Amino acid sequence: MSNPTQAPQFQAPPTPPAPTEAPKQLRTASTFMFVLLLIGLVSMVIDFVVAGTVADTLAGKVTGLDGKPVTSSWFNPGTMYVTLVFGLIIGILGLPVRKGSNGARITGAIFAIIFTLMGLGSMAMTVLISGTADLAAKNAGLGMIVPNWYWAGGVLIGLLQVVFSILAIVKLFNSNSAAYCKAPKA
């Protein structure tokens, strides 16, 4: 005899199995993070080449604001190392992101946001620093010392940083990516 006050017992529907492979959006975000690593490396090479070129050309021929001869370019080495470090961090975080680490996903997004700002700064500083160096060289009778490819390269690298950082952030916060990273792992 059944008890009419008690609801019939049904078996709970089985829980869907956790996806075994990361969703396409997360794999794409991870790929964009590796691209950002490459952009950091290329940026470092470009800055390394130009830092030496500008410093060598200006050495002893142009005076700084303090009246002493310019003997080095401090800005480019500083930015190239910071860009490389951030690129490495983002690229390395791409590995655990691809495996579904939620902490790496959030940390990678934070670094990508910072990398976006660095890209915007890179574009601005390329124009400002190169223009200042060329103006100083022109005043010293040296002509244009910053190669044209550096102007275009610096702006292009900054633009690539911004574009790929934003693409990575969008893919990292896609609902499929977030759900996969938050799902319990077997």
Residue range 2-53, pLDDT digits in tens: 566 666 677 777 766 656 788 999 999 999 999 999 988 887 777 777 665 6
Percent of the chain with pLDDT over 90: 34
The token pair at 150 is 């550096």
Q: Are 12 and 167 in contact (CB under 8 A)?
A: no
pLDDT at site 87: 85
CB burial string 67-106: b at 16+ within 10 A, e below: eeebeebebbbebbeebbebbebbbebbebbbebbbebbb
Residue in this structure with the two tokens 């529907």, named with its chain if needed? 13
| Residue 181 CB contacts under 8 Å (≥ 6 apart), including other chains | 26, 97, 100, 101, 102, 105
- Tell me the whole-structure pTM to 2 decimals: 0.71
* Between 1 and 90, the higher pLDDT residue: 90
Residues in the chain: 186
Q: Can you tell me the distance from the alpha carbon of 139 to that of 3, in angstroms, rounded to the nearest whole number?
A: 100
The token pair at 162 is 């911004």
Residue 161 has pLDDT above 70, yes or no: yes
Please calculate the CA angle 47-157-138 and round it to the nearest 5 degrees. Answer: 50
